[in-house]
Amino acid sequence: MDRSAADMTDVETRTLGHMLHDGLARLNAAQAARCLVAVAALLLVLITLDPFPDLRNEDVTTVVGGRMALTYISWGLLAAVAMLFVAATDAPALKSLVTPLHLCLVGWLLINIVFSESRGVSIQRFALAVSVTSFAVLLPLLPPTQRTFNLCLGGAALVLLVLCHLGVFLAPQYSMHTALDLTEPQLAGDWRGSFGHKNIASPVMTILVYVGIYLAAVGSFVMGPAIAALAGIFLIFTGGKTSTVLCLAIYALASLVYVTPGLWLKRLICFVPLIVMNLLTVGSVLSPALGALTRLLPLDPTFTGRSAIWEFALAAVAEKPIIGHGYAAFWDDVTARQTAQGSEWATSAAHSHNSYLDLAVTIGLPGLLLVILVFVLAPLGNFQSAQAHSRSRALAKLFLTIWLFGLYYGATETFLLERQNPIWFMFALAVAGLHFLARFQCVEQTEPER
């Protein structure tokens, strides 16, 4: 065994602290700073500035101006620093993002904001979305090598998982849903960790399972299995049925796509089940025939009556099908809308429980089409290119799996373009990762400073 191989074996048998120390010791100050910025952003999006909210407190639903201001400032600064770092060393990668399709999407969002029903709200929330999404897109470029990227991702994942598990055992009233929660006391006993709801915790844990599997596949025989096991256990106890079912199903689907040679066959494997899933959910309220079909199924694809919310959202799309109601500006106060009459649950919902339908409501059908082109269709072509050029196949599979999970999770929940939502952050990171892998080769390792 040569010296580098022996060093790798030694690293994998040490604690996380030793691994990070050894990894950073190989970097110069600027490279180490890039890694620290990447870890800071991952921790900010996963843990947030307000972890472990007390759902028994009436103030939990109140937006605190100072805390939100700190969130905006933190993300703005991190995005600016990341842009400076990346612009200095990866200008070609940044230029590759300037495409007609990307420009059309940004342009449409700006037009949509101008005509928003609540322009101030849309501008404010769009500013945060730009900062968070920009950082997600830049994050694959920040760590100087693939190995340091793995260390940053794995280190942040372990910090989150340790906090969540400790919270359950040391402060369960802040880490689990309880019967005293002001909303949804029926979820008592479900784990939520540092998050505000199990429906955020469960998809994050699913993504971390994929991260753990990836790290194990590239040689992290301690960190990888630990992350996968801790995330898998937590996922089960969240009670998140959708994420739990999708976790293994999506990994199997991604594995099938990985070994499928042709792009068109890949598209059929990825998109046909997704289309069917949306037809059986939102489509069931559009078509009486589909509605009758769903009632014959052994499970309820409307997830216990979400059809009322979908009907309400579809009526909102019909009101403004082209321009939409405005980015992130529809669901704050819908009780007074005429289309909401007789839909009590719909007016209390925070979103439409379908990412694609929600985009049609807020940014209109043209906006939805552009999002589909950029975030649904293009990434699979990028994966095909990365695979054809044998560029970091294990990493490409991780990004593919996270992307696929997001597509299917989006048929039941809303997260696309949703500001600092951790699922959106990881989804955008995966899409950007596939974009860069299709065009550039990862740096595999860095020599120590001499």
What's the token pair of residue 168?
């359950």
DSSP secondary structure letters along 193-225: TTSS-HHHHHHHHHHHHHHHHHHHHTT-TTHHH
> What pLDDT, on a 0 to 100 scale, did the predictor assign at position 198?
94
Q: Which of 377, 366, 360, 349 is nearest to 416 (CA)?
A: 360
CB atoms within 10 A of CB 32: 16
pLDDT tens profile 400-421: 999 999 999 999 899 999 988 9
Question: 191: which strand partners?
Answer: 176
What's the token pair of residue 294?
């769903």
Render the burial of 432-442: b for 16+ CB within 10 Å, e for the rest: bbbbbbbebeb
Give the up-direction half-sphere exposure of residue 50: CA atoms within 13 A in the CB hemisphere.
Answer: 18
Q: Are 244 and 192 in contact (CB under 8 A)?
A: no
Backbone torsion region of residue 341, taken as left when φ is above 0, otherwise alpha when ψ lies between -120 and 50, otherwise beta: beta
What's 2's DSSP letter?
Answer: -
DSSP secondary structure letters along 99-163: -HHHHHHHHHHHHHHHT-TTHHHHHHHHHHHHHHHHHHHHGGGSSSSHHHHHHHHHHHHHHHHHH
> What pLDDT, on a 0 to 100 scale, did the predictor assign at position 22?
57
3-state secondary structure of 396: helix
Q: Are 422 and 388 in contact (CB under 8 A)?
A: no
What's the token pair of residue 37?
């910025």
Q: Are 191 and 168 in contact (CB under 8 A)?
A: yes
- What span, in angstroms and rounded, lies between the C-alpha atoms of 404 and 246? 10
The stretches in the chain having pLDDT less than 70 are 1-27, 59-66, 292, 295-305, 333-350, 443-450
> What pLDDT, on a 0 to 100 scale, did the predictor assign at position 384?
95
- What span, in angstroms and rounded, lies between the C-alpha atoms of 437 and 389? 9
> What pLDDT, on a 0 to 100 scale, did the predictor assign at position 181?
85
Burial grade of 429 (CB within 10 A; 0-12, 13-18, 19 or more):
buried
What's the token pair of residue 355?
């990412």
- What span, in angstroms and rounded, lies between the C-alpha atoms of 196 and 201? 8
Residue 238: CB partners within 8 Å, gap ≥ 6? 190, 191, 192, 198, 201, 202, 205, 244
Does the global pTM surpass 0.95?
no
- What span, in angstroms and rounded, lies between the C-alpha atoms of 134 and 80? 9
CB atoms within 10 A of CB 422: 23
What amino acid occupies position 237? F
3-state secondary structure of 261: coil
> What pLDDT, on a 0 to 100 scale, did the predictor assign at position 158?
97
> What pLDDT, on a 0 to 100 scale, did the predictor assign at position 288?
74
CB atoms within 10 A of CB 266: 20
- What span, in angstroms and rounded, lies between the C-alpha atoms of 307 and 283? 10
3-state secondary structure of 75: helix
- What span, in angstroms and rounded, lies between the C-alpha atoms of 292 and 295? 5
Helices 29-47, 65-89: crossing angle, 10 deg rounding: 150
CB atoms within 10 A of CB 276: 12
> What pLDDT, on a 0 to 100 scale, did the predictor assign at position 61?
61
